[in-house]
Amino acid sequence: MKGMTIIVKTISSWVKVLVFLFGIYIILFGHLTPGGGFAGGVILAASYVLLMLAFGREFVEKNLPLPLASRLDCLGAFLFALIAILGLVFGGSFFVNFLYQKYLPGQPLNLISAGTIPLSNLAIGLKVGASLFLVIFTLSICCKDFKTDTSTHKKEE
Amino acid sequence: MSIPLPAFVAIPLVTAFLLPIFGKKGKAAATVLANLATVSLLVLAIVSVGQSRVYEIGKWSIPLGINLVLDGLSSLLLLAISVVSTAAMFFSIRYMEQYTAKAKYLSLFLLMVAGMNGVVLSGDIFNLFVFLEIASIASYALVGFGCEHEELEASFKYMVLGSIGSIFILFAVALVYGNTGSLNMAYISKAIQSSGLNAGLTFALGLFIAGFGLKAALVPFHAWLPDAHPSAPAPISAMLSGVLIKTLGVYALTRVVFNVFGISISTGWLLIALGLLSMVAGAFLAIGQWDLKRLMAYSSISQLGYVVLGIGLGGLIIAEGGNLAWASLAILGGLFHLVNHAVYKSLLFLTSGSVEMSTGTRQMRQMGGLAEKMPVTRATCIIASASIAGIPPFSGFWSKLILVVAAIQASFYWVAAIIVFVSLCTLIMYLKVQRYVFLGELPENLQQSKEAKNSMLVAMIFLACLCVLMGLLVLVPSLRSHILNPAVKVLTDGLEYSTKIINM
């Protein structure tokens, strides 16, 4: 038996897209509305957790292989550090918002404004989404095997 | 040349996140890259000696933004961290071939270095906590890296006690923020000077001492160290005992006590008591051990006691308004012992790793007669043992001599006596190591044991040369006035730190 009943599977296969999109929205509008990279990343991870609960672990592993998730995780952190270093190169100080000060001085409350902050949100979203997914996936590796007798397990230990 | 200070944190951090991309095939490339990162940090640390600067991140000025501060004490610690991490990283090239997932190991190693550099440079107390957590969490994972039963147990114990320490520090940071309205250390210090310590701030100081004491494994808080340090892979034991407990524990403690809260007579006595207790208890516990790395771990507790004792003695003399010369001498002894201990204890752990790799055991009863099989390991181990026991030409002698002279001049004769007595105990425990590991008869099953491989030998010889030459740091006046004296001055100046930072 893999995953849950057909009702749960159908509903979650509709909902997962909405959850994922909502996560992307929260990340992209992080500088304008409540939320941001961290909150959006958690929602992205939640969409995969939903799939994992409904369809089982193997399905999710095919959908998003662990090495890929691990690399996305590192990529997010790397991008964030890169934005900081670009601030040093173009703005003269670490973490300077060089896009806003020099190249893209957008109006407040527009989507394209706030310089490097949306980019940082994007990097954090990637990092948090991938690493939270990995954390929950790793936690789900340990499970109780109901079929085999528990006394054999104790001997193995 | 002025280096952008964030480079000390950014270089290891960026490299750490680049490494896992190489995967299993690019192990050689990942190793080269990681070594380049540590070597470049060493070069940066040497270049930055003698400078003192404030760096405002993102050009936000201090009460609003986050600042990094480089002063004498920071650059001394940066130097110690980068020397030990370069040697340990070079040692791991060959040593970590025994383990799987080398790229992940290198990545965690660099994260730990980034965290420690951050702690040392941070001028903001909340960022100090954040970097402290980065370094601590990376070290929890590294202690359990072997994934054997004993290692996971040690890692779990370390994680629980380390997290309790972190929670103490976080609560203290919250109390300080609530009472002074600032997180910047210079501004906190200014607020404390103008309004004095109230009950909340005194409680916060207590929490800081307990939290950083847990990280430094001073004696009432030491329970995790003898499990965690031996269980880690040898280069990580070297990093943990060599620099991690010093940056997260002693550095942060002295920075908060001397520069933020200001030293008082009662904190001075508390530091002396903690130091003496660690020295004596650590030495007695170490003598009875039969596990090679466990003995060295207990001896770390004892040696860290010297550092805290020296700094506490200096603080007490300052608080009592005594002769400033003897106060700076005591602090100089403490800080010099800190640097010395970083070098020789990491060397001792590297030799223990080389012994463990060739014999497959850490039990001293099962070893013996390795002197002919492993001549270089034996020679470096003798140098390190002589240094830690305080035998004249080696570095450990000078720092202990300074401590004894300072204690006698300040008429703490009993403290001087205890320093000499514990030094004798240290000599006994390392004679025991020499006797049971390198001398005696070679057991049957160890006939095949071989000397360590190239990269491991280079790392050990590098540290052994430093052990011999470190005495020059105090003996040559120009080196002393460039490296050690600025660090001592940061602590003896005490609360003037805040006006310096604000005006800089």
Tens digit of each residue's pLDDT (9 = 90 or more) over B171-216 = 999 999 999 988 999 999 999 999 888 899 999 999 999 999 999 9
B21 vs A71, A85, A97: nearest CB: A71
Q: What percent of chain B has pLDDT over 90?
A: 61
Cα(A73)–Cα(B16) distance, rounded to whole angstroms? 12
| Contact check, Cβ <8 Å, B58/A71 | no
- What is residue B309's three-state secondary structure? helix
Assess if residue A39 is contained within a domain.
yes
Q: B50 in contact with A at a CB cutoff of 8 Å?
A: no
A interface residues, B as partner, C-beta within 8 Å: 67, 70-71, 74-75, 77-78, 81-82, 84-85, 87-88, 91-97
pLDDT tens, residue by residue, A65-102: 888 888 888 899 999 988 888 888 887 788 888 887 77
Q: How many CB atoms lie within 10 A of CB B3?
A: 16
Interface size A-B, in CB pairs within 8 Å, comes to 47
State yes or no: pLDDT of B24 exceeds 80.
Answer: no
User: What distance in Å separates residue A6's CA from the closest CA in chain B?
Assistant: 38
With CA atoms as reference, the chain A residue closest to B14 would be A78
Among B20, B21, B59, whose Cβ lies nearest the Cβ of A96?
B59
pLDDT digits (tens, 9 = 90+) for B344-397: 999 999 999 999 888 888 888 888 888 888 889 999 999 999 999 988 888 889
Contact between chains at B59 and A93 (C-beta distance less than 8 A): yes
Residue of B nearest to A91 (CA): B58
A33 domain residue, yes or no = yes
CB contact under 8 A, A95 and B57: yes
Predicted local distance difference test score (pLDDT) of residue A147: 59
Q: What is the pLDDT, as a whole number, of residue B503?
A: 82
DSSP notation for B24-90: TTTHHHHHHHHHHHHHHHHHHHHHTTT--EEEEGGG--TTTS-EEEE-HHHHHHHHHHHHHHHHHHH
In the predicted structure, residue B339 carries a pLDDT above the cut 50: yes
Q: How far apart are the first and last CA of chain B?
A: 18
Cα–Cα distance measured from residue B313 to residue B326, given in angstroms and rounded to the nearest whole number: 9
Inspect the interface and report whether the beta carbons of A81 and B17 lie closer than 8 Å. Answer: yes
Asked, for residue A154, whether it belongs to a domain, the answer is no
Q: Strand B67-70 relative to strand B53-56: parallel, antiparallel, unpaired? A: antiparallel
pLDDT in tens, B281-291: 999 999 988 99
Tally of structural domains, chain A: 1
Q: B395-409 vs B413-433: helix axis angle to the nearest 10?
A: 160
Q: What is the pLDDT of residue A42?
A: 94
User: Which residues on A lie below 8 Å from B4 (Cβ)?
Assistant: 88, 93-94
The larger pLDDT score, comparing residue A15 to residue B441, is at: A15
CA B45 to chain centre: 16
pLDDT the model gives residue B362: 87
Q: For residue A116, is it within any domain?
A: yes
CA distance A96 to chain B (A): 4
Please indicate, yes or no, if residue A71 is contained in any of the structural domains: yes
Residues constituting chain A: 157
Across all residues in chain B, what is the average pLDDT?
Answer: 90
pLDDT digits (tens, 9 = 90+) for B37-89: 999 999 999 998 888 888 888 888 878 888 899 989 999 999 999 999 999 99
Q: What integer is the mean pLDDT of B433-437?
A: 89
Percent residues over pLDDT 70 in chain B: 99
Per residue in B445-487, pLDDT (tens digit) is: 777 777 778 889 999 999 999 999 988 888 888 888 888 999 9
Q: To which H or E segment does residue B488 belong?
A: helix B485-493
Contact between B331 and B492 (Cβ < 8 Å): yes
- Is residue B298 a contact partner of residue B286, using CB atoms and an 8 Å limit? yes
Q: What is the ipTM of this complex?
A: 0.81
Amino acid at B9: V
pLDDT value of residue B246:
92
B279 and B305 Cβ atoms separated by less than 8 Å: yes
**Contact B463/B42 with Cβ under 8 angstroms?**
no
Whether the pLDDT of residue B334 is over 80: the answer is yes
Q: According to the model, what pLDDT value does residue A100 have?
A: 78
The whole-number pLDDT of residue B309 equals 94
Mean pLDDT to the nearest integer, A29-54: 89
Mutate to test the interface with B, among A95, A116, A127, A142 (most CBs of B within 10 A): A95
Q: What is the pLDDT of residue A151?
A: 47
Alpha-carbon gap: A92 to the closest alpha carbon of chain B (Å): 9
The C-alpha of A116 sits at a distance from chain B's nearest C-alpha, in angstroms, of 12
Q: What is the pLDDT of residue B108?
A: 92
- Asked whether residue A127 is domain-assigned, the answer is yes
Looking at residue A1, its pLDDT comes to 47
The per-residue pLDDT for A152 is: 45
pLDDT confidence band for B424 (50 / 70 / 90): very high
Instruction: Give how far B41 is from chain A: nearest CA, Å.
Output: 17
Across the range A8-21, mean pLDDT stands at 91
* For residues B406-425, average pLDDT: 93
Residue B33 near chain A (CB below 8 Å): no
Nearest chain B residue (CA) to A67: B23
Contact A71 B55 (CB under 8 A): no
Return the percentage of chain A with pLDDT > 70, whole number.
Answer: 88
In this predicted model, which residue has the larger pLDDT, B102 or A157?
B102
Distance CA B502, CA B186 (A): 7
CB-CB: which of A84, A93, A97 is closest to B10?
Answer: A84
| Minimal-distance CA residue of chain A relative to B6 | A94
Distant-in-sequence, close-in-space partners of B56: CB < 8 Å, separation ≥ 6: A93, B62, B65, B66, B67
Task: Examine residue A155 and state whether it is found in any structural domain, yes or no.
Answer: no
Q: According to the model, what pLDDT value does residue A154 have?
A: 42
- The answer to whether residue A1 is domain-embedded is no
Residues 404-433, chain B: which have Cβ within 8 Å of A? none
In this complex, is the C-beta atom of B3 within 8 Å of any C-beta atom belonging to chain A? no
Distance from CA of A113 to the nearest CA of B (A): 17
Of residues A30 and B174, the one with the higher pLDDT is B174
Domain with A16 in it: 6-144
The mean pLDDT of B241-259, rounded to a whole number, is 92
pLDDT band at residue A108 under the 50/70/90 scheme: confident
Question: What value does the mean pLDDT take over residues B416-436?
Answer: 92
